[in-house]
Amino acid sequence: MKELTQRQEQILELIKSNLELKGFPPTRADIAKTFGFKSPNAAEQHLRALEKKGVISILSGASRGIVLNESHSLKNIKNNEIPIIGLVAAGQPMLALEHVEKKLNIPETMFRDNADYLLRVKGDSMIDLGIHEDDLIAVKKEKECKAGQVIVARVNDEVTVKTFSKNKEGKIILKAANSKYSDITLDPKNEDFFLEGVCLGVIKSF
């Protein structure tokens, strides 16, 4: 399913909230009025776009004949609980039960991809990217990553969060986002480097 534009997302939200509040879908005129469109056809075309992208169905000829398709239906709120991982001691696997602080139900659409776990950050090596101590980073397990991505990796059995890149000789360079720390250069053949996952985002609490 293609991604929705911001406007399409808004239209979809309006349909949902109309269903929730009033009990039935909006008309084209309702939509146009809400967003200030001067033509009901603007709404019509947004609906067609949503239908094309598979999020709604339009029942031809029926007034208010807008049906939310399965995944977007109000009824199914998916349970997507992922663990919050605290401090991981050297040599221990990431998802060992002992490290799980609690679980959080993270909506799939919160980050660009579905996260596998949340890792509580220790240290200040990534503050220039807005990642501070005790923040949670959303991590997706991956076997590969691209230059510039924020990753979670094991280096000699220690879990670390850094920005990934490679130099001309094919060596891995791990950069901290903090001028206090200098780069780590690793030879993937000799050194003990293991990619735990890619960082999708950050959750920060005040």
Distance of CA 145 to the CA centre of its chain: 16
98 binds, among DNA, its own copies, none (CB under 5 to 8 A by kind): its own copies
Q: Where are the beta strands (DSSP E) in 14-149?
A: 56-58, 66-68, 81-85, 100-105, 117-120, 136-140
Candidate segments 42-50, 129-137, 165-173, 180-188, binder of its own copies by CB under 8 A: 129-137
Using CB under 8 A as the criterion, what x/- string covers residues 21-60 for binding its own copies? -xxxx-x------xxx----------------------x-
Tokens 């990217």, residue located: 129
Distance of CA 97 to the CA centre of its chain: 23
199 binds, among DNA, its own copies, none (CB under 5 to 8 A by kind): its own copies
Residues 65-104 that bind DNA (CB under 7 A): 65-66
Q: Is 33 a catalytic residue?
A: no
Selected binder of its own copies within 94, 119, 135, 162 (CB under 8 A): 135
Question: Given the complex with its own copies, which of 16 and 154 has the nearer CB atom?
Answer: 16
Q: What is each CA distance from 42 to 12, 13, 113, 187, 190, in whole angstroms?
A: 14, 16, 31, 57, 61
CB 47 within 8 A of CB 12: no
CB 31 within 8 A of CB 16: no
Options 39, 52, 57, 162, the catalytic residue: 162
Q: How far is the CB of 181 from its own copies (least distance, A)?
A: 17
Residues 74-93 that bind its own copies (CB under 8 A): 74-75, 77, 79, 83, 86
Q: Is 162 a catalytic residue?
A: yes
Q: What is each CA distance from 187 to 132, 164, 169, 174, 184, in whole angstroms?
A: 28, 13, 9, 11, 10
Query: Could you give the residue numbers annotated as active site?
Result: 125, 162
The residues binding DNA (CB under 7 A) are 2, 5-8, 27-30, 32, 35-46, 49, 52, 58, 60-66
